[in-house]
């Protein structure tokens, strides 16, 4: 591992059994692995996709917080749902957190997750480079 790459763990039971880091910072980017609403052994928001999305995003944001970043640094989100009926609920949670930031976002429906109680899994990517407006060329 080089100094330019840093990894953080958050104690997910799958980190050791699968062999992954919750978040990896490499250069100007911080990538957060698929994150659910588990906190330790407890699944928060069981049966409630909105609550699961809020907690999952909070868990993912806590991971980028290890690098001194917050929601305003998020440039991409991915949301995985088990039911299309949950799109509005998960979208509402995303809007509340990222409405002012407007990251690139992907939302897909999947067959399922490793624990059937999980309704939502999220990923985020953050940028830890120069703040917007510090470059000579503005986006068009």
Average pLDDT over the chain reads 87
Is residue 138 scored above 70 in pLDDT? Answer: no
Cα–Cα distance between 110 and 113 in angstroms, integer? 8
CA nearest 71: which of 92, 101, 106? 101
Range name among 1-5, 59-63, 72-76, 87-91 with the lowest pLDDT average: 1-5
Average pLDDT over residues 85-96: 98
Residue 68: how many CA atoms within 13 Å on its side-chain side?
Answer: 4
Is residue 112 scored above 70 in pLDDT? Answer: yes
Is residue 140 scored above 50 in pLDDT? Answer: no
Cα–Cα distance between 74 and 128 in angstroms, integer? 9
* Whether the Cβ atoms of residue 46 and residue 117 lie closer than 8 Å to each other: yes
pLDDT at residue 19, rounded to an integer: 67
Is residue 80 scored above 70 in pLDDT? Answer: yes
Which is more confident, 101 or 16?
101
Cα–Cα distance between 106 and 83 in angstroms, integer? 15
pLDDT by residue (tens digit) across 1-56? 445 877 676 666 665 556 667 888 999 999 999 999 999 889 999 999 999 999 99
């Amino acid at each position: 591992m080089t100094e330019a790459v840093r990894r953080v763990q958050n104690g997910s039971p799958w980190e050791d059994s699968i062999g992954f880091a919750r978040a990896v910072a490499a250069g100007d980017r911080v990538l957060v692995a698929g994150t659910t609403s588990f906190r330790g052994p407890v699944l928060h928001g069981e049966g409630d996709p909105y609550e699961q999305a809020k907690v999952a995003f909070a868990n993912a944001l806590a991971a980028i917080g290890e690098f001194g970043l917050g929601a305003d640094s998020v440039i991409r989100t991915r949301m995985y749902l088990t039911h299309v009926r949950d799109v509005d609920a998960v979208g509402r949670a995303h809007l509340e957190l990222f409405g002012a930031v407007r990251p690139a976002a992907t939302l897909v429906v999947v067959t399922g997750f490793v624990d059937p109680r999980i309704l939502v899994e999220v990923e985020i990517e953050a940028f830890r480079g120069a703040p917007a407006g510090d470059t000579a060329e503005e986006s068009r």
